[in-house]
Amino acid sequence: MPPDNSASFEWLKPGPYPVNSSDYEWADTSRPTQKNRDFPGAQQRSLPATIWYPAQFDGPYPLIVYSHGFLSSRGETEYLLRQLASFGYVVVAADFPLTSGSAPGGPNINDVSQQPADVTFLIDTVLALAGSEKPYSGEIDADRIGIMGLSLGGFSTSLTAYHPRLREPRVKAAISIAGPSANLTEKFYTQNDLALPFLMIAGTADRLIDFASNAAVIPQRVPDGGLLSIDGGNHIGFVGMADPTFRFFLNADSVACLSVEANIDASEGRTNEDLFSSAEGIVFDASAPTRCQSEVKEAIHPGRQHMITQLGALSFFESVLADSAVSALRQQLLSAAQTFEASGASTFMPELDPNAKNVRIFNLIGLDAVFRELILHPSAIEYVKVLLGEHYMISNFTANIALPGSGSMPIHSDLGFVSPPPWLAPHSMNIIWCLDDVYESNGATRYIPGSHLYRSLDDLPAMPMQHTVAFEASAGSIIAMDGRMWHTSGANVTENSERALLFGYYSADFLRPQVNWNALLPVELQKSLDPELFLRLGLMAEGNAHQMTRQTTPGPTEDIEQAVSDLALHGLCVISNALDAAALENARQALYHAADSDRQRGRATKGFALDENEHNQRVWNLLNRDLVFADLAEHPMAIRLVRETLGWPALLSNISGNITEPGAVRGVLHADQIFVPEPWPTRPQGLNVLWCIDAFTAENGATEIALGSHRLHRNPNSGDASTAMTPIVAPAGSMVAFESRLWHRSGANTSSDKTRAGVFSFYTTPVYRTQENWFLSLDPGVQRYASETLLTLLAYKSAGFGLVYGESPR
């Protein structure tokens, strides 16, 4: 698995169901096992098998039959089989009699011709399980059977899916993982007039099975075939044991080749050339690249190869083994459309669509319970969390039916409707459910590849429609689309084919939704909603209208790990009791003494640019005022947050006091990294650590923040003056950290007698000039006795920048 703080961790987490497995000793007594070297043969074919299945799920289940590779066994890709089971699949795999690593007489590659019948036997046996023999509750859906295999098992899968004599007609989808196919001609795949979805997954650095002649040809040869090519993937990298066994090999296929070649040469009996014929579409071309003759290319980490394989296999089966619920869902949509029209609502939006042949149905959440369940479908939410994180909202849920003759709407970006450029981060996304087969001629959604990286309209090419391609998918598929992607509905130019799609639009929690759910949904319906749906719709129990932001401030914590998580998620964290009573009192006395000293000497800073009033005092260069401020600057919790947010080394740009007195007015809304040219990087360039010397309250001028504003990657402008602000309420002794992109300001002190003081330590990455010129202003005594950490923060210990004759100043 990837690191648990990465986006791919969410994507690759197991599905919603825990997985169990059961082992069986099965035998097909209707067929013998052939003689093999010193093995005399047997009257039956023994097939020890394992079933992986989802617990706590009652089906109906799709069934996947897995075929292992030569010299291997049924558990070779258990990582993949368990992943499928966690998403609701029953998966069965067996050790084939004569091609497994434990075959009597030794592995014999020629027995592959018997394996399609073994697959049929496994399907029959699993479907016939009853009573205590069946480990799972519920039933298998016999209309949703897929097959999959690796290497020789991939070849076996192709035979089972397409061979005129050997194929299993109940199979609805097939995946070959690095399976040999160079000798399988277009005739092989087309002679049965099958519309069978087929996927080849292969690596470009495969030495055993040449990628160019076996995998790259699939899209041209197979009518409904696709290719998932893994750049740098090798053959052995698909096997579970490859990680960690072979992770440090340049390409472990070289090791596998020795064993495979030796055992193929020793195989007895009829050869594959004898078993199959050109009449069946199998032509053995002597000029084709042979096994293990490709050049040795560096292979990617096998763990990464596993991840890509998991995503590809699951997405493929999810898209083509959609259950009969799809047709039922379509009927419910048509019923909802009638209800919608009966209410007097229009299904034609002239501002979006060129003609009324494009039917739109809104408020699916309110029309039928099935849509209230669908919008939180686990597979959809997996995609949403990958792009938007845990804190997302449901902005809209609509349907679009393209009738024959419908036209294309203008090309657009969904995020462009709600957020000004530059568009640097995916603050929204569409999940599209296909209720029909979707293809170019019946109005498939069209998009510009790579357009999610456009930062503004200036990046949009001239004649953008000429750059679009169609999302084509089978009924039951889910399409996940970044909200920045430029797209349009395609024109339906067919004579009688409708195209129905559902669009779930999700957004970051700081964006205003397209729909005001509080106003739209009846109060009684709101009360009956699932709590998770209630939350994601942004509904409020008191029924208030939607506010601009629904993100909440993270609660105070004393756990530094929780604080790190809060800071990464919210751009803000609050640590209570960060200072004990003695340290707090020392800091308070030192700060107020420094402020009094400045006033007495006539150098008090009032009317600062960000706080233009006489009741707010700034106190500068605290490091010279008292050693307690050096302790705050290098406090272990502060440094931990700096390291997590900015990395190390980092610089202390400034440490100053901010005191608001009764009568102080609100400060200027700003972000601390105002010094960074826009568009801003997607990572913060600074971190502000605020020490609450007094309690921060809404009445005494607590710092106010715009929740979620750090995700906009820009400074506030005049149009943001009405942004909803939230005061940071925290007791004295608390530490508040917020990243430099977060909009904030000093709050108004409306109390009659409460002064509020805070110490602000601002840190940046080491490439930026500090606000305070420490080399001029720092007391030499502070420098002389400073710790290594403080010297690094002040750039006296540095590398690459701020050097003196090529050396660090200290």
Cα dihedral across residues 384, 387, 389, 392: positive or negative: negative
Q: Please, what is the Cα angle at 520 between 342 and 722, to 5 degrees?
A: 145
One-letter-per-residue 3-state SS of 532-566: HHHHHCCCCCCCCCCCCCCCCCCCCECCHHHHHHH
Least confident range from 152-156, 569-573, 690-694: namely: 569-573
In angstroms, rounded to a whole number, what is the distance separating the alpha carbons of residues 763 and 100? 60
* 3-class DSSP state of 10: helix
Least confident range from 175-184, 317-326, 366-375, 591-600: namely: 317-326
> What is the structure's pLDDT at 508?
83
pLDDT at 268 over 70: no
% of residues, the chain, pLDDT over 70: 93
- 719: its two tokens: 């149009």
Q: Please, what is the Cα angle at 599 between 598 and 605, to 5 degrees?
A: 70
Residue 550 exposed, middle or buried by CB count within 10 Å (0-12, 13-18, 19+): buried
Q: Highest mean pLDDT: which of 40-44, 311-315, 524-528? A: 40-44
11 confidence band (pLDDT: 50, 70, 90): low
Q: What is the pLDDT of residues 287-318, one digit of tens each?
A: 667 778 778 899 999 999 999 999 999 989 98
pLDDT at 698 over 70: yes
The average pLDDT across 430-445 equals: 90
pLDDT at 544 over 50: no
Higher pLDDT, 179 or 681: 179
Neighbours of 266 (CB within 10 A): 13
In angstroms, rounded to a whole number, what is the distance separating the alpha carbons of residues 442 and 445? 10
In angstroms, rounded to a whole number, what is the distance separating the alpha carbons of residues 167 and 182? 19
pLDDT at 412 over 70: yes
* Cβ atoms 205, 251 nearer than 8 A: yes
Strand partners of residue 660: 616, 756
Least confident range from 99-103, 153-157, 270-274, 782-786: namely: 270-274
Residue owning tokens 């071309």: 285
H or E stretch at 329: helix 325-342
The average pLDDT across 674-688 equals: 86
- 579: its two tokens: 């200072």
* Cβ atoms 664, 611 nearer than 8 A: yes
% of residues, the chain, pLDDT over 90: 59
Residue owning tokens 């340290």: 583
H-type helices in 7-114, by residue range? 7-12, 78-86
* Cβ atoms 82, 68 nearer than 8 A: no
Residues 6+ positions from 372 with CB-CB distance below 8 Å = 365, 529, 530, 533
> What is the structure's pLDDT at 305?
94
In angstroms, rounded to a whole number, what is the distance separating the alpha carbons of residues 181 and 157? 11
Selection from 207, 439, 175, 156 nearest residue 311 by Cα: 175
10 confidence band (pLDDT: 50, 70, 90): low
> What is the structure's pLDDT at 416?
80
Q: Residues of 477-496 as b/e, b for ≥16 C-beta within 10 angstroms?
A: bbbbbbbbbbbbbbbbebee
Selection from 290, 298, 283, 490 nearest residue 403 by Cα: 490
pLDDT at 16 over 90: no
* Cβ atoms 504, 397 nearer than 8 A: yes
Strand partners of residue 22: 51
pTM equals: 0.48
Q: What is the pLDDT of residues 460-477, one digit of tens each?
A: 999 999 999 998 887 788
Q: Highest mean pLDDT: which of 244-258, 547-561, 617-631? A: 617-631
Selection from 399, 405, 397, 388 nearest residue 443 by Cα: 405
- 306: its two tokens: 């596993």
DSSP codes joined into one string, 570-629 = HSEEEETT-S-HHHHHHHHHHHHHHHHHHHHTT--EESBTTB-STTEEEE--GGGT-HHH
548 confidence band (pLDDT: 50, 70, 90): very low
Strand partners of residue 100: 72
* Cβ atoms 539, 513 nearer than 8 A: no
Least confident range from 62-66, 222-226, 237-241, 263-267: namely: 263-267
> What is the structure's pLDDT at 546?
33
DSSP codes joined into one string, 488-501 = EPPPB--SS--EEE
> What is the structure's pLDDT at 728?
92
The average pLDDT across 630-658 equals: 95
* Cβ atoms 122, 27 nearer than 8 A: no
> What is the structure's pLDDT at 547?
36
Half-sphere exposure of 791 (CA within 13 A, CB side): 15
- Domains along the chain? 7-320 (3.40.50.1820), 325-536 (2.60.120.620), 560-793 (2.60.120.620)
One-letter-per-residue 3-state SS of 123-183: HHHHHHCCHHHCCCCCCEEEEEEEEEEECHHHHHHHHHHHCCCCCCCCEEEEEEECCCCCC
Average pLDDT, the chain: 88
CA distances from 285 to 181, 275, 671 (A): 11, 15, 67
* Cis ω for the linkage preceding 107 (within 30 of 0): no
The average pLDDT across 116-129 equals: 97
> What is the structure's pLDDT at 349?
79
The torsion region of residue 571 among left (phi > 0), alpha (psi -120 to 50) and beta comes to: left
Number of H helices, E strands in the chain: 26, 27
* Cβ atoms 468, 411 nearer than 8 A: yes
676 confidence band (pLDDT: 50, 70, 90): confident
Selection from 196, 151, 194 nearest residue 176 by Cα: 151
Q: Please, what is the Cα angle at 599 between 593 and 603, to 5 degrees?
A: 115
In angstroms, rounded to a whole number, what is the distance separating the alpha carbons of residues 46 and 76? 19
Higher pLDDT, 719 or 170: 170
> What is the structure's pLDDT at 476?
82
In angstroms, rounded to a whole number, what is the distance separating the alpha carbons of residues 702 and 727? 6
CA distances from 220 to 212, 214, 318 (A): 12, 12, 23
The average pLDDT across 194-212 equals: 93
* Cβ atoms 766, 692 nearer than 8 A: no
Residues 6+ positions from 600 with CB-CB distance below 8 Å = none
Higher pLDDT, 581 or 614: 581
* Cβ atoms 176, 154 nearer than 8 A: yes
Neighbours of 772 (CB within 10 A): 19
In angstroms, rounded to a whole number, what is the distance separating the alpha carbons of residues 175 and 317? 9
